[in-house]
């Protein structure tokens, strides 16, 4: 079956959540949002492209930081309302310079920092 970005289920804002996973380590790196055009660009260019809700603009991951995400595989979930992109991640995925955005664990009611910012 042909894939059509218009046939995904978007929020009332026209967005769909996209989870980025490191294809090598399996680590979940981040979650951000795409709109229909970002889905199209990601597939066409092989460079993961989100929609920045705060800046209201396309966000080619790593365009300014160099921390690019090369698309390895693009997955759609059963409800067609969430995406999973397997990526080759250059450097940190998180804007705090950590490999993953999910660096805080909650254990016994306390927040624990699991990883430190990477060296540049």
In angstroms, rounded to a whole number, what is the distance separating the alpha carbons of residues 7 and 40? 12
Q: Is 82 annotated as a binding residue?
A: no
Q: Tokens representing 18?
A: 């996209």
Question: What DSSP character marks residue 58?
Answer: E
Per the listing, tokens 């992109």 go with 85
The answer on whether 79 is annotated among ligand-binding residues is yes
**Rule CB under 8 A: is residue 26 a binding residue for its own copies?**
yes
Binding positions for Mg(2+) are: 77, 79, 81
List residues near its own copies by CB under 8 A.
Answer: 1-3, 17, 19, 21, 25-28, 30-31, 43, 73-79, 82, 84, 94-96, 98, 101-107, 109-111, 114
């Amino acid at each position: 079956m042909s894939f059509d970005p218009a046939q995904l289920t978007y929020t009332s804002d026209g967005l769909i959540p996209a989870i980025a996973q490191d294809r090598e380590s399996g680590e979940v790196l981040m979650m951000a949002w795409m709109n229909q055009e970002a889905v199209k660009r990601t597939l066409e260019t092989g460079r993961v492209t989100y929609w920045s809700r705060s800046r209201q603009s396309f966000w080619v991951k790593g365009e300014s930081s160099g921390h690019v995400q090369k698309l390895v595989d693009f997955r759609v979930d059963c409800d067609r309302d969430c995406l999973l992109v397997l990526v080759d991640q250059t450097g940190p995925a998180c804007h705090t310079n950590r490999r993953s955005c999910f660096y805080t664990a909650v254990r016994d009611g306390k927040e624990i920092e699991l990883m430190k910012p990477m060296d540049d």
